[in-house]
Amino acid sequence: MFCPDADYKDGFLDICVAGNLSKPNVLRILPTAYKGNHVHYKGIDNYRAKKVTVVADTPSPVHADGESCGIRTEITVTQDIKQLRVIIG
């Protein structure tokens, strides 16, 4: 539950960012994400947006839904609520 307040119907992307955490803190905080309690720790920030652009200093491999998108320095992510399909069963 990295983004415990996420709602696929609201049209927003929910983003969880972990920054400035030591390896021991990551190991201590990560198990709390199972129930969404990690959001209360310093160094964990959640954001909501309609569009997100990520820019890297060096080219990095990008994958979307398990498919390779090549090597990029910049990606833009949006949510089109009309395109989201959920199959339960």
Enumerate the domain spans of the chain.
13-78
Distance CA 77, CA 22 (A): 28
Number of helices (H), then strands (E), belonging to the chain: the values are: 1, 4
Q: Determine the length of the chain.
A: 89
Question: Which tokens belong to 48?
Answer: 């909501």
Q: What is the pLDDT of residue 86?
A: 59
Residue 19, classified by CB atoms within 10 Å of its CB into exposed (0-12), middle (13-18) or buried (19+), is exposed
Question: Quick one: which H or E segment has residue 61?
Answer: strand 51-64
pLDDT score at 10: 87
pLDDT tens digit sequence for 20-57: 999 999 999 999 999 999 999 999 999 999 999 999 99
pLDDT tens-digit map of 61-74: 988 878 898 999 99
pTM for this predicted structure: 0.73
